[in-house]
């Protein structure tokens, strides 16, 4: 006790080693047990459940993300194929329209040539008729002139 007096403690002070120390230790152990049973285990269980939920949700989200990325890649491929098919249809349509244009142009040219040839034949025939008529008239006029000249003599 004298050594305790040297440190400035007296009996019944802060460091009194009677029955209160074991009682305080028992109280701490009981309080720890009660708090663990009533508070920490339910809170720990909720935290574990929440962690499991977060882990599960995260795994599902990753799976959905990978599925969305696969769908995006598939849609990009389909879009690329559709664009190529559309380009092919456009090229075929341009070729078909070019072919129709050339056929129409050839038909129009043929019709124009046929019409021009028919007009040329008609003109030649009328020219021939006019020349024949002119020749006939010239012959008659020549005969008339000869007759008058012979009659005037």
Residue 93 tokens, joined: 């349509």
Residue 131: burial class (beta carbons within 10 Å; 0-12, 13-18, 19+): exposed
pLDDT of the residue at 117: 94
Q: Report how far residue 11's alpha carbon sits from residue 1's, in angstroms, rounded to the nearest whole number.
A: 8
Q: What is the largest CA-CA distance in the chain?
A: 199
Q: What is the pTM of this model?
A: 0.46
pLDDT of residue 5: 44
What would the mean pLDDT of 102-113 be, rounded to a whole number? Answer: 95
């Amino acid at each position: 006790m004298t050594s305790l007096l040297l440190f400035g403690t007296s009996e019944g002070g802060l460091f009194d080693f009677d029955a209160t120390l074991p009682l305080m230790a028992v109280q701490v152990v009981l309080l720890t047990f009660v708090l663990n049973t009533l508070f920490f285990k339910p809170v720990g269980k909720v935290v574990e459940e929440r962690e499991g939920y977060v882990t599960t949700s995260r795994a599902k989200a990753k799976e959905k993300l990978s599925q969305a990325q696969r769908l995006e890649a598939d849609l990009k491929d389909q879009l690329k194929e559709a664009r190529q098919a559309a380009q092919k249809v456009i090229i075929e349509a341009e070729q078909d329209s070019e072919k129709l244009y050339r056929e129409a142009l050839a038909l129009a040219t043929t019709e124009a040539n046929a019409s021009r040839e028919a007009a040329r034949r008609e003109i030649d025939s009328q020219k021939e008729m006019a020349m024949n008529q002119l020749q006939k008239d010239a012959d008659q006029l020549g005969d008339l002139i000869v007759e008058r000249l012979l009659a005037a003599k």
